[in-house]
Structure 1
Amino acid sequence: MSIGESLQKARQNKYLTQKNVAERLYVTRQTISRWEQEKTMPNIYALKDLAKLYDVSIDSLIENSPHSLDKEEGNTMSKINWMALFGMIWFNIIFTLGAFIAVFGILVGAWITIGAFIAAPLLLAGEWILVVLMHLPWPANLDWYQVPLALVLCALGIGAIPLAKNLTSTLVKFCRQYIRYNLKAVYTKNQK
């Protein structure tokens, strides 16, 4: 049985679609399809994640495969594919770095907004305390609706914390997977 057939059979035994697997591994559905059709081969990190997801050993996925790494053949992963390295660097600089900066900026902005929402009643109370303690005249810009508005903003901020935590966690997992899958992609098999 080829590695593509093994991957497809293991996926089907767990009643997963290609889309389900792609979402869990943070890759596209087409990537899973290409692996199963043997147009491309998953790297060792992807195989490890697939084996864990399918509850099988890596050996069972690559067993009897013409692409399996056999120590008797003397295959090692040590030669650098310079074109892959060059392409990966440029792709990561141009596309991925831009996307990462944009997403990171949005995430930081979301956390700052949540913090400001939660701090709204404290800021309002602080202003009132200053007015009372320093015996200042009551400012004309302090209106009755500011207290309920500050409390609503605080509630929204507290309610948004789990959403922001989940988003942050998902993005961190995605970045780790992306780096992990691309870290060894520049190495090719080197025959001894």
Structure 2
Amino acid sequence: MLYKKLKSAREESGLTQSEVAKKLYVTRQTVSRWEQGKTLPNIYVIQKLSNLYCLSLDELVENTVFEKEEVKNMKKINFFALFGALVFNIFLFSLVILFLSGILILSYGISLIMIFSPLIFVVFVLTGIQDFNVFQLILTIFFIGIGLFSIPLLKKSLLRHLILLKAI
């Protein structure tokens, strides 16, 4: 079995799992899984392992038989982990969509308030809540410009947002 050969070759070379992992740019746990028969290294890694252990590829994989249990262990799927990953991704994606929708709605609200700012200013002056001020009048006219400029941009982003939602 390959995992036994990998472990014995490493031990004969006098290397630890950590040293092998550093040389192959993998984690020590990965090397451990190879040596326990839980996973198999890919063909490129097997080639690097044969060079590292000073063995030919034939010597390393010679008479290697994959028992049914070995293959069966590799095909097991952790359904709880799969379910957890799906729930997490759906939750995260939903939060992103809600956040973007909230920002879009808030932006529309601010633009509408800017457009109606002169009307609000006039109502406040006529009811006596606020005194007339030329600077504030100019500022409200400036706000109209910003509001009118931002509405077409927000419509484009709303259309992109809706297209994104339809794609899902």
TM-score by length of 2: 0.37
TM-score by length of 1: 0.34
Specify which structure has the higher proportion of strand.
Answer: 1
Larger RCO: Structure 1 or Structure 2 (Cα < 8 Å, ≥ 6 residues apart)? 1
Structure possessing the higher radius of gyration over alpha carbons: 2
Specify which structure has the higher proportion of helix.
Answer: 2
